[in-house]
Structure 1
Amino acid sequence: MNKQLSWKEIKALHQLFKDGQTAMKIAGHPYIKYLIENRYIGFKRGSDKILIANSTFHDKYIEEQLEESYARYYSFLAENELLFSYTSLSEFEIKKLIQLKQSSNIWEELKSNIQAGKESRKGVSNKYFKSAKHIKKGSFLENAVLKVLDIETFPQNENQGFYRVPCKNPKCIILCENIYFLTLSIAPQNNIELWCAGGNNTTPLERLPKIDYPIYYLCDWDFHGLSIYERIYSIIENVTDKKSSIHLITPNGKKEGIEQTSNNHRSLWNSKSQLSGLKKSLYQQDQIELIQQLVRNNEWIEEESNDFLEIIPQTNL
């Protein structure tokens, strides 16, 4: 099951593993309810506040690699001075903060753009956390992002940056909806130049004077992601000096239930409209069939779940 744990639940489960009990209030979380219902853990006799570990919990905890996650997150939070009794971050947010910290090739440019007023809270939120509104002003998450980037504040404007990872001998361009693949070295090693504007941030694409190489689009396969693709398709078509129209990459990533990932995913299909209201003419037949399957099963495919090496053949390199 998709646990969607927070640091609070992760810390409490570690207490159960190490000490055999915890007084932290976590029983309302769906994953904790699952552990209780399956008798991995339970309330101490005579108490409705203290959870204790049953004999089967140790193996379950190890099997689900919860100790590795705890150790990794604890180390990261401690090293970045984010470890407090009131630390309020989800596992999704901690993973994104780690990704941000480790993205040395993007980190410097991102920090520089923020300090120059070329990137905003909204832009960072959109590129790293899937939604422009995910980082709330004054929240623990905002302070954590600023700490990781080693800056004091975001600019007051809502500018959003445009990022490129060039390579020596580019054969094509892949425009990504999110910034994840720009943090890896795999694309330049395969003669691919990566671009990222960040989902709805299409304005930089409207200013392109020319596109020197064939261009492809990689995105989340949900209604929101594909709607953005359709808008970008129209924008690229209006660029006169270009090597090709934009080609949509068919994902090979994991299908996930929309309801199970709703905490960090807010895009819904319209099952009452043909192809959820998307423009059928902009998709290949196999892509249409995949969209229909996703709508039917109320699923989506996250961009980051794709195997990038398996995507490369779609670019005809």
Structure 2
Amino acid sequence: MIPIETPYKVIKYLVKISEEKTLPKNYENETLILHFVERGYLTSSGDRTKKYSKTYLFEKPFVDEVLPSFQKYNSFIKKHRIESLENHYSVNDFEALIQVENNRAKILNDNYSFQTILAKYFGSSKHRKVNSILSDAIKKILNIDFFPEDDKDQQYLSVLYPKIETKYIILCENKNRLIVPRLDFIEFWFAGGKNTRQLQFIPKPKFPILYLFDWDFDGLNIYTDIKRKYLPTIAAFIPDNFISLMEKQEKVKEHHSKWKNRNFFQYLTEKEKEIAGILIETDSIIEEQKILLNENNLLRNGIN
């Protein structure tokens, strides 16, 4: 069994020895390396024994113990794009991160701070910075943009008021929608992308409210979360001729929200279900930035 304090980079080192047979010596004082040397799985070689070479005994313990761990953590790292942790964190740390992933729903529902996550899953909240590579990795795993304590400004709602008067409200997933010329009767809101908990503090909207978002797995889950918890009258902004806006997921650069299930369907209208169903069946998405606020789309959503 691999000691939990073993740095992941040591596991990678043994994987490389398995492939190349001999490597310059490294990590000589690590428990796992000492274990392999003491049992004759590795031997010193080269001038003044500056290298480690695998022996005929190496492969069995490597395949039984090291390779499964490497495959497990390597898959997890690639899945969440957290390669920055590879040279800095241990087996124990990666096990903690896997627990964070497994408990994602509770962490988000209970509004855990970064320090709470550290204390609960890593045993201590000391000596860990909010802007560290670990905090960035946890954000990726939880699929959030910030922790509750990250930015005090995130407790506020950003608003772009209309030229004349408010008759409709569009809540936007993307803040760029607020950096545009004002429209006559539409008020635009931005509440922080994925983290929309501040919506619980706003008064009940006096006008029809729509949500403009990416039609993908994350976007639809955020929409239904808002609808269930904060704004029960909100409706999805539905693009006219949505078929023309569909793109295959694998062709969209930097897109990582893959379809996983249809649990959110129970909160959708029939039209919303129709669109979501077609997207899932064709493995496609609709990017929010491609949805134009033109006359056809506005009329389609009851805005005139």
TM-score, length of structure 2 as denominator length: 0.46
Larger of the two Rg values belongs to structure = 2
TM-score, length of structure 1 as denominator length: 0.44
